[in-house]
Structure 1
Amino acid sequence: MKAPETDEDFIQWYEDCWADRDEVEYPKMFGAIDEGVFTLDQTDAIQAWMESDLAQVEGEADPNWGPMGVRAAPPSPDYPYWTYVTSGLSNPFTVAPGDEITDETPSGIGYEMVIHTPEQAKWPVFRLLDMMAYNLVTMRAFALNHRYPVEGTLDGGDSKLGGFVFVRDPSRPDHFALPSGKVQLLTLVGVTKNEMAFARSNGLDKLMEKLVTAGTGYITHPDREEVKL
């Protein structure tokens, strides 16, 4: 199929793809989604990365990035924990009017990121917004099996977790389709620096086995102890 060729039709199609993801696909995978959206233009994350040595964007940041953000899904009978998911990285901003789109065409940069937590918290929102800005400004993408250390701790407090690993959550689909292309879901699991090193040497599957055995699995518990490695 092709993206609409006229500017007016393309803008409407772009907005429809966004709505399809947030209002159709996300509720199917995560349950009821809170109405509120935590957006990039509510933070200084984009500007901070624009001023970093890693920035690859010249001039001003794209104004289309500002409304991108993070959605939250409260616990449900099927998923008794909080879910935070980015909304915008899969917007079709890499497509021009009239471009050809196949089933394997990535929508936007091709993924959205997810963090699960046992309780409602602000830190997953801030972390995801910062990582979205990193993707957009530095033009560096994440992928399954990646590891991402952060400065300090994940929650900004006393947590022993100092980074994320990127995995597939076996409890739900790992991708979905939009009219603009394919979208992968990357689940971020918080880990300690030692756990990250263990995954680098032994593979993420081995680390996830230990986290599942310990009872935390794919849910990030900021106050947990390091698993026995």
Structure 2
Amino acid sequence: MKAPETDEDFVQWYEDCWADRDEVEYPKLFGAIHEDVIALEGSGALEAWLDNDDPSLPKEADPNWLPMGVRVAPPSPEYPYWTYVTSGLSNPFTLAPGDDLPEGASSGLGYEMVIHTPTEERWPVLRLLDMMAYNLVCARLFAVGHRYPVEGTLTGGDTKLSGFVFVTDPSRPAHFDLPSGKVQLITLVGVTKNEMAFSRSNGMDRLMAKLTDAGPAYITRPDRDEVKL
């Protein structure tokens, strides 16, 4: 299979893939979702990563990156918590008109990232925008099983959580399909420094089992205590 060969057809196909994800797949996965996208453009996240001394990294943003961003889904009867999900990392911006689409290939970077919280928060939006910019500018990708410490605390305020672990949420499909390829859903769970170290030494499954015993494991609760390790 190939991407459409003319520029006009390719642009329409690109937009259709985006719409399929945001308007069809996301409502199925997360319930009713706000129409607005909190875009990378104007957020300052791209500029922060573009301001670097590494000659191998870009100094200007790819125009394809600018409208990417974060979407927000409020609580629903099926999902009684807030959801923040990236929108754009799986856009087929890595392709050009006429490029081959191998069977089973990933769309774009191959994933989108998700954070769940019990109440509405601003910090998940800021974290996801920053991590999207990191992926795009530095070309360093995340995967299930990764760990990501942050400077200070996860929220920037009073919490014991100081980083994320990257996991698959068992309450949802691990991936979905677009005309441009497969997309993995990676859920980011906030953890403490000691919990992150525990997962490194004992495995992610054992950490998630302990978090599950202590409460809703896949929902990040900044006010929670560290689990007993």
TM-score w.r.t. the length of structure 1 is 0.97
Match of 1:109 in 2: 109
Moved over 2 A (4+): 52-59
Q: Is the 8 A contact 1:165 1:188 kept in 2?
A: yes
Match of 1:187 in 2: 187
Extract unaligned runs of 5+ from structure 2: none
Question: Is the CA contact 2:49–2:134 (under 8 Å) kept in the aligned structure 1?
Answer: yes
CA contact (8 A) 1:103 1:182 kept: no
| In 1: Cα distance, 2:206 partner to 2:88 partner | 32
- Deviation at residue 100 of structure 1 after TM alignment: 1.6
Aligned partner of residue 171 in structure 2, secondary structure: coil
CA drift at 1:176: 0.3
Give the Cα separation in 1 of the matches to 2:124 and 2:59: 29
Deviations 1:118-144 (A, max 9, x none): 001100000000000000000000000
Structure 1 unaligned spans of 5+ = none
Q: Within 5 A, what are the aligned runs for 1:15-30?
A: 15-30=15-30
Q: Within 5 A, what are the aligned runs for 1:71-82?
A: 71-82=71-82
The number of equivalent residue pairs is 229
Q: Secondary structure at the match of 1:176?
A: strand
Q: Matches of 1:85 and 1:187 in 2, distance apart? A: 9
Q: For 1:144 and 1:55, how far apart are their aligned partners in 2?
A: 29
Note the alpha carbon deviations across 1:48-102, whole angstroms, 9 max, x for none.
1111356843342112211100001111111110110000000001111111213
**1:219 equivalenced with 2:212 (yes/no):** no
Q: Which amino acid aligns with 2:94?
A: T
- Encode CA deviations 1:175-195: one digit per residue, 9 max, x unaligned: 000000000000000000110
CA distance in 2, matches of 1:70, 1:39: 7
Is the alpha carbon distance of 1:25 and 1:54 closer, same or farther for their aligned partners in structure 2, counting shifts above 3 Å? farther
For residues 6-35 of structure 1, what are the alpha-carbon distances to aligned partners after superposition, in whole Å with 9 as ceiling and x for unaligned? 001001100110000000000011111111
Give, as a single letter, the amino acid of the residue that structure 2 aligns with 1:208. M
Match of 2:44 in 1: 44
Code of the residue aligned with 2:202 in structure 1: it is N
Moved more, 17-26 or 54-63: 54-63
Identical positions, percent: 74
User: CA distance change for structure 1 residues 56 and 116 in 2, over 3 Å: closer, same or farther?
Assistant: farther
